[in-house]
Amino acid sequence: MTEQRPPLPPFTLETARQKVRAAEDGWNSRNPEKVSLAYTPDTIWRNRSDFPVGREQVVEFLTSKWQREQEYRLIKELWTFAGNRIAVRFAYEWHDAAGQWYRSYGNENWEFAPNGLMHRRFASINDLAISTNDRKMHWPQGPRPADHPGLSELGL
């Protein structure tokens, strides 16, 4: 049986939004093994200056990321889509081991295999040091609650 991760391409506005929210929820789980299953076994990434290839390297990358980026909370928003590609913008908040909070902003371009698994992920990200009082993402660890504002509503 072939792995599948619905919704499958080509995407509609509704299915592209579903894919974006599923990705957000997965990353907010901070479970590298679970997250890696949304990608093809031979997935190709660019994340800042890191270039993981394949699920094993994705798990290593995410494990390191979430050890460094503590209390991580992410919001993604659909930017555009066509066929088997989706572009998103995102912001996430986290703090380092010293307790300094950051908001990281970025864009991602995704390309999906016919089975709905992401084959390519290209991310560009910038970090901004923020004070604890400037945080906008306040929910218990895990998926963002349905009633929590998204990026546009937060002015991000």
15-38 average pLDDT score: 98
CATH match of 13-154 with 3.10.450.50: yes
Asked whether the predicted pLDDT for residue 153 surpasses 90, the reply is yes
Segment 101-116 mean pLDDT: 98
For 79-91, the pLDDT digits (tens) are 999 999 999 999 9
Q: Is the pLDDT of residue 125 over 80?
A: yes
pLDDT of residue 56 exceeding 90: yes
Name the band, by pLDDT with cuts 50, 70 and 90, for residue 62. very high
Q: What is the model's pLDDT at position 127?
A: 98
Segment 132-150 shows an average pLDDT of: 97
Domain range annotation of the chain = 13-154
The model's confidence at residue 137, banded by pLDDT at 50, 70 and 90, is: very high
DSSP the chain: -----SSPSSP-HHHHHHHHHHHHHHHHHT-HHHHHTTEEEEEEEEETTB--BHHHHHHHHHHHHHHHSEEEEEEEEEEEEETTEEEEEEEEEEE-TT--EEEEEEEEEEEE-TTS-EEEEEEEEEEEEE-GGG----S-SSSPPTTS--HHHHT-
pLDDT tier for residue 2 given thresholds of 50, 70 and 90: confident
- Mean pLDDT, the chain, rounded, equals 97
